[in-house]
Amino acid sequence: MGGERRMMQLAVAAIVFTVWCLGQGTSGICQLDWHGHESRCFRVVDVAVAHEDARDHCANHDSSVAVPKDQATNDFLVRLRNSADSGLSVWIGLNDIEEEGTFVWEDGEDLGSFSDWSPGEPNNGPASGPADCVRIKGGTGTNLWGDYPCTTQYGVICEKGSESSGYTNLGCWRDNVGNRAIPTLEGTDPRLDGSYGARQNPLEKCYQVALSRGYAVFAVQNGGWCAGSADGHNTYNNYGPSTACRADGEGGPGANEVYQITGSESSGYTNLGCWTDNVGNRAIPTLEGTDPRLDGSYRARQNPIEKCYQVALSGGFTVFAVQNGGQCFGSADGHNTYNKHGPSTACREDGEGGPGANEVYQITGCSMDYVRFNNVCYKSFTGSNTREEASQMCVEDGGMLAMPKDSATNDFLANLPQVTGGRWLGLTDANGDGQWVFEDGQSLTSSGYSNWLPNEADSGDVCAALYATRSSWDARRCNHRRGFICQRNEGAGLVGFWPLNAEYGTSDVTGNGNDAVATGTQLALGPYGNVNGAFLFSGAADSYLNIPNNGELDVRYSYTILAHIYPTGGAGPIFSYVTNNDGFGVHLVVERGQSILQSIAADVLEQSAWNYVGGSYNSFTGMASLWNNGEVVGQANVGVVEVETQYQVQVAMKDGDSRFFAGRIACLQLYNYAMTEEQIATARDRCKEDDTLTSGEWNGYNYTVHGSRQTHATATDECASFGARLADSKSADVNNFLVSLANGVLPGEAFWFGLHDYEHEGQWQWSDDTDVDYTNWHPGEPNGGVGQSCGQLYTSNSMWDDDSCDIQKYYICQQDTWLSNSAEWVVDASGDTYVDAQGVAYGPDKVLDDDSTTYWNPNGVADEWYIIFHLGLSYTLSTVRVQSTGDFTHDVKAFKFQGSNSADPYVWADALIVDVGNSNEHQEFGTFSATAKYWRLLITETQSGGQPWLAGVQFRGMVADTVHRISFDVSEAQLSGSNDNVRVLIYSTDCGGWCLSTTVPGRFGRGETRVHYFEDEDFGRPEMLQLRTDGDNRLALDQIRLYNGETGREDEFPCNCNLASTSVESLFLDAYANYAEVHAAMEEPLAALTICMDIRIPDTTSGALFSYAIPDSPK
């Protein structure tokens, strides 16, 4: 692929093996169910297949069709076949397909002096077709060879080389059951079958598992127990030598027989020491809850170092840390931050850190199951794949099919485990003209190396495979199925990462040294609603970033560019490699209203909104791709080229281009390989700062599950940081919802939720300071242990337990949901409504129409611009969202958000004061709690001092708990005394919305209940009634009837009567919101109303309280 660099612009039947044991061969080591002879291993396959399929079946089992080149081997194969089925004819690896009469063995050698033909053979018969393939005949009296048509179906004998030991003995070493010198591999791989004490070939099986994981050492203990880890070469001798190992090489009680794998290198990471951590200010963010490989509780996790390493490696991180027995940490910036709290002495000897102490590791080697050779990582894949499928699987694994361009590499590949039966290589003659080309575009001729079997390069087949026999290459049809070898360049990963936020500024947090230099930019709201989480570019020539390139950003072969962008202007560059002559190497750009030649373009960007965009190029396939929001939106095959990426990078502008990007950019990332869709999806939230794993809405609340472990106090603060609180579980239904939500991401874990008794021992309360009525304690809990003042929810059984508040656990937060906007909420606003020449009005109702292209423009007011809202009822709000138009000049800079419980006069109290400074456009502000009937947004400052252009406002909150409650014991038949007055809320457009009845008598029973409404004023035709209970009880209605009458005497409104003029159109019951909405249609205006209900009280235990509550008047 050398030479000129280019510019690039981006806008089947199942097979059953039947085995007969003959005993182990005389030399070499054969795997279970294979049988040895003269350093080779053989196996009979009792299946009827054509000769070509027989070759593929053997290849799929890491072998080739057997080649009996001498009398002894031939006799052995006959005996092996006879032990299975003496009547079975079996293919051997001999044919004269290329030239009639010239028989050639499977490995390319000529037949030679030995043969064992049946009399009259070979005869190129029968008449059904040419007989080009050879079998050992079955049946009585014959074990000789015969040629037969290759399409005939027989059994087959497969052959492969015996396994060399592949390891050397490092001696016998003591182990410690409570703190293993090397972690166990038991239960991690099906090859470690059954009970280790009864396992056949336990040493060989342990070796194979360790080898497949790239470990340098492994150990066998007490007759077969297997241990191994990436760091085992550093820890195997922790407890000194032992004399307890037996002579069979399989260790002894409490004693490891340790082996070093021949040719192995050290693990994929090195130890950087023990460093202090701070729960409130992590040195490295946690990875817990981000990947299923980090399974269960970290303290009980097997091989926590290895699992943390694999997850960090997948994320492209250069360091990772393990704390307190297994808790995993890692980030792209971890190499810069791991030591910010100084060294620690609290780490234990097992390498898994300690309390508040990180054992930090630097990643150095290949990922799991890959083996390094000459700075390239290789892996042999078993299976049955066409060449095209194999190539794609390598690409998806971050690499390409292996390319042996010298004898040393070729020999290394041939000696990888399970290569005997043939593996696809990254070498093809795609045009069928004899010009073989490697996967990366280099011609075979220019490499100066090849290792073909005789006549294979010119056989007419166009895909190359490697056979371990003689390390030779074979040309095969590309639709054949076999295994393959992938290669990945060491160091493939994230080479440039600029979060572009307040915390990191323009730093390249990979540590590669390519920090950007900003000109004419400022901080703005980021893609996750985080203040100062992005850089704002004005769209002018003096607003851009320059990024130097010290060589680390030279991704000439393959790359992926990713960024979050918020475009507000016209066309403009996003990310460009700028050449010395003002040209470009790579140009990712926003275009507007024009076509682009010789590029990839897609009309997908959303203006004035966040878009997750990217461009990638795969030099292995020649495919360039354009990405938007995690999906491919454009592709073109530009061929295999080297891209001009050796130059500096410019962001938001490009020398020689008159266009400039206007808007925000955040989380700019550059990788030196073409990422898959899954990898791009994972990278999307690389800059996200919180630990939220999932969320769900229930009963008017939004619940979030958080994947970092915190003390109860810290978890409370974390929830409060975004206007939430620890979740309350006030009913069985809510409890079940929380368990289901949490189990979706962290199954079986324990979570802090809003239960505590730290104010008064034994008096349990929720996070909103209400007393606990519903409980779901585990038997024997709460037990009032010392310091156990906080409740935890076990998702494994849905039950509760009290525990020490200082223990770190996952946690669940609860927050009000966003209210659905209504233009009717606006009751007053400052200034006059501006109307443009086309008659378009820019009134205050535009902020509630959920259309960011319309806005409020108050005319005739110089300052103190306000809108007053009335939401219909009293609400408790926790968050307000404000969206400007994004032109910066008229964007809101500072405001007050105020509430009042009266309208005549308004009495305003500040709920929130905002002075953002740099922010513009969409802004979200939480962490307050205020209750009011009327709300005022008072804008005190814009970016330029002129009037605001406000495009949107939204509120997060719940109807306030301002209700009249009437409680009674369920053992009573009805209410009496002074608490027999209730209110019914009626909705009617005739009275302007929600209107309140006068206070009327009410009777409540465990069965039928009547609530009467009388009013002198005509309220028109009611459309809806609303009934409520308190927050802890269900309003469970078996039926509800409405009666419309004309007088107020109770005896004239029996509940067993309905008039035709009244009908219940629908009854909306939400048993978890504890209210009912009755949608009614009345043909006549309302004069008097009887609501008849049959109420079922959920808890019938004597003494339990049930409340009937009606919202307070909105007027």
Domain co-membership, 533 together with 650: yes
**Which helix or strand (DSSP H or E) is residue 702 part of?**
strand 701-710
Average pLDDT over residues 1063-1091: 48
Instruction: Look at residue 15 and tell me if it is in a domain.
Output: no
pLDDT in tens, 187-213: 888 788 888 988 888 988 898 888 766
pLDDT in tens, 569-615: 888 899 988 876 554 457 777 664 443 334 677 788 888 888 999 98
Instruction: Look at residue 107 and tell me if it is in a domain.
Output: yes
Sign of the torsion formed by the C-alpha atoms of 622, 626, 627 and 632: negative
Cα 709 from Cα 691, distance rounded (Å): 10
515: Cα separation from own chain's centroid = 29
* Three-state secondary-structure class, residue 391: helix
> How does 502-535 read in b/e, with b if 16+ C-beta sit within 10 Å?
eebebbbbbbbebebebebbbbbbbbbbbbbbbb
Sign of the torsion formed by the C-alpha atoms of 638, 642, 645 and 647: negative
* Confidence grade of residue 172 (pLDDT, cut at 50, 70, 90): confident
Instruction: Identify the top-confidence range among 310-319, 431-440, 488-497.
Output: 431-440
pLDDT at 15: 19
pLDDT in tens, 2-12: 344 445 555 42
Residue 440's domain comprises 371-489
pLDDT at 707: 76
Instruction: Look at residue 441 and tell me if it is in a domain.
Output: yes
Average pLDDT over residues 900-923: 76
The DSSP letter of residue 186 is T
Domain co-membership, 672 together with 546: yes
Decide: 561 and 616 in contact? Cβ < 8 Å: yes
The DSSP letter of residue 110 is B
pLDDT at 777: 95
Instruction: Look at residue 2 and tell me if it is in a domain.
Output: no
Assign residue 852 a region (left: φ > 0; alpha: ψ between -120 and 50; beta: otherwise): alpha
pLDDT greater than 50 at residue 1032: no
Instruction: Look at residue 779 and tell me if it is in a domain.
Output: yes
pLDDT greater than 60 at residue 269: yes
* Confidence grade of residue 63 (pLDDT, cut at 50, 70, 90): confident
Residue whose C-alpha is closest to residue 1089's, from 1099, 1078, 1100: 1078
Min mean pLDDT across 470-484, 625-639, 961-975, 1034-1048 is at 961-975
Q: Beta 423-428 vs 400-401: how paired, if at all? A: unpaired
Cα 501 from Cα 490, distance rounded (Å): 30
**Amino acid (1-letter code) at residue 320:** F
The upper half-sphere exposure of residue 391, i.e. CA atoms within 13 Å in the direction of its Cβ, equals 21
Min mean pLDDT across 395-409, 496-510, 893-907, 1048-1062 is at 1048-1062
The Cα-based distances of 838 to 835, 842, 950 in angstroms read: 8, 12, 20
pLDDT at 10: 52
Min mean pLDDT across 28-42, 461-475, 543-557, 990-1004 is at 990-1004
Residues near 544 by Cβ (< 8 Å), separated by ≥ 6? 518, 519, 520, 521, 537, 650, 651, 652, 653, 660
Domain co-membership, 998 together with 897: no
Residues near 1109 by Cβ (< 8 Å), separated by ≥ 6? 963, 964, 965, 966, 1028, 1029, 1030
Scan for tokens 């079922």, then name that residue: 1096
Cα 562 from Cα 304, distance rounded (Å): 31
Residues near 141 by Cβ (< 8 Å), separated by ≥ 6? none
Cα 949 from Cα 892, distance rounded (Å): 8
Instruction: Look at residue 27 and tell me if it is in a domain.
Output: no
* Confidence grade of residue 561 (pLDDT, cut at 50, 70, 90): very high
pLDDT at 1062: 46
Q: Is 458 buried (19+), middle (13-18) or exposed (0-12) by CB count in 10 A?
A: exposed
pLDDT at 374: 65
Cα 634 from Cα 603, distance rounded (Å): 10
Tokens of 538: 């004005």
Cα 74 from Cα 65, distance rounded (Å): 13
* Confidence grade of residue 980 (pLDDT, cut at 50, 70, 90): very low
pLDDT at 829: 95
Higher pLDDT, 297 or 1029: 297
pLDDT greater than 80 at residue 1108: no
pLDDT at 976: 26
Cα 285 from Cα 821, distance rounded (Å): 37
Last residue of a domain, one of 489, 511, 530: 489
Q: Is 759 buried (19+), middle (13-18) or exposed (0-12) by CB count in 10 A?
A: exposed
Domain co-membership, 423 together with 435: yes
Tokens of 386: 């066409």
pLDDT at 1006: 35
> Which residues sit opposite 488 in a β-bridge?
377
pLDDT in tens, 738-783: 999 998 888 888 999 999 998 888 899 999 888 898 999 999 999 8
* Confidence grade of residue 1046 (pLDDT, cut at 50, 70, 90): very low
Domain co-membership, 411 together with 518: no
* Three-state secondary-structure class, residue 513: coil
Higher pLDDT, 921 or 709: 709
Domain co-membership, 698 together with 775: yes
Average pLDDT over residues 162-184: 80
The DSSP result for 727-782, as a single string, is PP--SHHHHHHHHHHHHTTSTT-EEEEEEE-SSSTT--B-TTSPBP-S--BPTT--
Domain co-membership, 538 together with 650: yes
Cα 83 from Cα 85, distance rounded (Å): 6
Residues near 247 by Cβ (< 8 Å), separated by ≥ 6? none
The Cα-based distances of 713 to 710, 777, 811 in angstroms read: 8, 22, 11
Counting other chains too, the contacts that 527-532 makes at CB distance below 8 Å and 24 or more residues apart are: 527/564, 527/566, 527/610, 527/612, 527/666, 527/667, 527/687, 528/685, 528/687, 528/688, 528/689, 528/690, 529/922, 529/924, 530/501, 530/689, 531/502, 531/916, 531/919, 531/923, 532/501, 532/502, 532/918, 532/919
Domain co-membership, 862 together with 945: yes
pLDDT in tens, 355-373: 889 999 877 666 656 776 7
pTM for the model: 0.38
pLDDT greater than 50 at residue 524: yes
Instruction: Identify the top-confidence range among 550-559, 635-644, 757-766, 1044-1053.
Output: 757-766
Average pLDDT, the chain: 76
pLDDT in tens, 418-429: 565 678 999 999
Task: Return the CATH number at 947.
Answer: 2.60.120.260
Task: Return the CATH number at 504.
Answer: 2.60.120.200
Residues near 772 by Cβ (< 8 Å), separated by ≥ 6? 730, 755, 764, 765, 766
pLDDT greater than 80 at residue 1091: no
Tokens of 227: 């241990």
- Please count the structural domains in the chain: 8
The Cα-based distances of 864 to 905, 937, 939, 1038 in angstroms read: 19, 10, 6, 53
Higher pLDDT, 241 or 682: 241
pLDDT at 242: 87
pLDDT in tens, 318-353: 789 999 888 999 987 787 788 888 888 888 877 889
Min mean pLDDT across 186-200, 481-495, 742-756, 1012-1026 is at 1012-1026
pLDDT greater than 80 at residue 1028: no
Tokens of 972: 């009573």
Counting other chains too, the contacts that 825-830 makes at CB distance below 8 Å and 24 or more residues apart are: 825/869, 825/870, 825/871, 825/872, 826/867, 826/868, 826/869, 827/868, 827/869, 827/870, 827/934, 828/867, 828/868, 829/856, 829/858, 829/866, 829/867, 829/868, 830/858, 830/861, 830/864, 830/865, 830/866, 830/867
Domain co-membership, 58 together with 157: yes
Cα 452 from Cα 473, distance rounded (Å): 5
Domain co-membership, 484 together with 508: no
Instruction: Give the phi and the psi of residue 260 in degrees, each rounded to 5.
Output: -105, 130
The DSSP letter of residue 655 is T
pLDDT in tens, 526-551: 886 666 789 999 999 999 999 999 88
pLDDT at 1: 36
Q: Above pLDDT 70, what percent of the chain? A: 74
The DSSP result for 209-243, as a single string, is HHHHTT-SEEEEETTTEEEE-TTHHHHTTTT-B-S
pLDDT in tens, 838-858: 888 999 999 998 887 789 999
pLDDT at 1014: 44
**Amino acid (1-letter code) at residue 982:** V
Higher pLDDT, 692 or 1098: 692
Instruction: Give the phi and the psi of residue 874 in degrees, each rounded to 5.
Output: -70, 135
Cα 730 from Cα 767, distance rounded (Å): 11
Cα 590 from Cα 570, distance rounded (Å): 8
Residue whose C-alpha is closest to residue 917's, from 891, 938, 881: 891
Task: Return the CATH number at 46.
Answer: 3.10.100.10
pLDDT at 2: 39
pLDDT greater than 50 at residue 960: yes
pLDDT at 377: 81
Min mean pLDDT across 230-234, 507-511, 595-599, 719-723 is at 595-599
Residues near 77 by Cβ (< 8 Å), separated by ≥ 6? 42, 66, 68, 90, 92, 136, 157
The upper half-sphere exposure of residue 463, i.e. CA atoms within 13 Å in the direction of its Cβ, equals 21
pLDDT greater than 70 at residue 1072: no
> How does 143-163 read in b/e, with b if 16+ C-beta sit within 10 Å?
bbbbbbbbebebbbbbbbbbb
pLDDT at 999: 35
Higher pLDDT, 1004 or 737: 737
Domain co-membership, 667 together with 649: yes
Q: Is 205 buried (19+), middle (13-18) or exposed (0-12) by CB count in 10 A?
A: buried
528: Cα separation from own chain's centroid = 17
* Confidence grade of residue 827 (pLDDT, cut at 50, 70, 90): very high
Last residue of a domain, one of 467, 489, 511: 489
Last residue of a domain, one of 161, 181, 200: 161
Q: Above pLDDT 90, what percent of the chain? A: 22
Q: Beta 472-476 vs 463-467: how paired, if at all? A: antiparallel
Tokens of 486: 């992938």
pLDDT greater than 70 at residue 173: yes
Instruction: Look at residue 30 and tell me if it is in a domain.
Output: no
pLDDT at 937: 96
pLDDT at 214: 64
Average pLDDT over residues 446-469: 83
Instruction: Identify the top-confidence range among 217-221, 943-947, 1063-1067.
Output: 217-221
pLDDT at 1094: 45
Domain co-membership, 652 together with 715: no
Instruction: Look at residue 255 and tell me if it is in a domain.
Output: yes
Residues near 43 by Cβ (< 8 Å), separated by ≥ 6? 17, 19, 33, 34, 35, 61, 63, 157, 158
Residue whose C-alpha is closest to residue 28's, from 164, 188, 126: 164
What are the residue ranges of helices labelled H in 366-476? 387-396, 407-414, 444-447
